Structure formats: structure tokens, C-alpha cells
Amino acid sequence: MSRGLGNRPVFQPQLVHQGETVAGLNAQFLADVAEYSLEFRCRDCVYFAPSRDACTLGWTVEALNADAIEILDAKGEPAFCKAFEPTGS
């Protein structure tokens, strides 16, 4: 796979810009989740099978079902699923 700066794949944009921190962006995301009632976790996705605690598309679900609400992991990489489809409930 082609890599960009550091160890980041070239198709993955830099999400932490100058003057920002991972902790700060996660704190802002936490505030946005509360303000706009954002749904982004597997349990809110049409592809999630609660009876098997699994994604029917085969993705891992542990990170998206953790108690912590974070949009970026410790390395500043996205911690969300692009295949998410809201249940609308």
C-alpha cells in the first residue's frame, strides 16, 4: 500500500491540523454528539446483528461499541465506520 507522510496511507487525510490535538477534537466530537444526538455506533447501524454482537458485513465492532466516544484514535486516525447506515429508529 502506498504511504504518505509518516505512516499514514495516502488516501487518508490528515485530520489533526496545526493548533489542534486528538484530545481536543475528541472533546469537540463528544459535545457534538450530545448537541445533535449523533448516531454512529454499530448498535445504531442496519448492518449490526445484536444477537451475534457482530457486523453482518464482517467488520470488527469492538471500537465502535466501546463506552468512550471518540472520533480519532490515539494516533489521530479516524475511529468510525464508512459503511455505517443508520437504522432511523
Q: Which of 57, 73, 75, 87 binds ligand SF4 (CB under 6 A)?
A: 57
Q: What is the nearest approach in angstroms of ligand SF4 to the Cβ of residue 46?
A: 7
| Length of the chain in terms of residues written | 89
56/53 Cα distance (integer angstroms): 10
Query: 20: which 3 cell numbers?
Result: 489542534
8/54 Cα distance (integer angstroms): 28
Residue 81 interacting with ligand SF4 (CB under 6 A): yes
Q: Which of 45, 71, 72, 79 binds ligand SF4 (CB under 6 A)?
A: 45
Query: 53: which 3 cell numbers?
Result: 454482537
Q: Nearer Cβ to ligand SF4, position 23 or 83?
A: 83
Q: Would you give the DSSP letter of residue 7?
A: T
Q: Considering just the CA atoms, what is the radius of gyration of the chain in Å?
A: 15
Q: Which of 48, 71, 72, 79 binds ligand SF4 (CB under 6 A)?
A: 48
Residue 34 interacting with ligand SF4 (CB under 6 A): no
Question: Applying CB under 6 A, which residues contact ligand SF4?
Answer: 42, 45, 47-48, 55, 57, 59, 61, 64, 81, 83-84
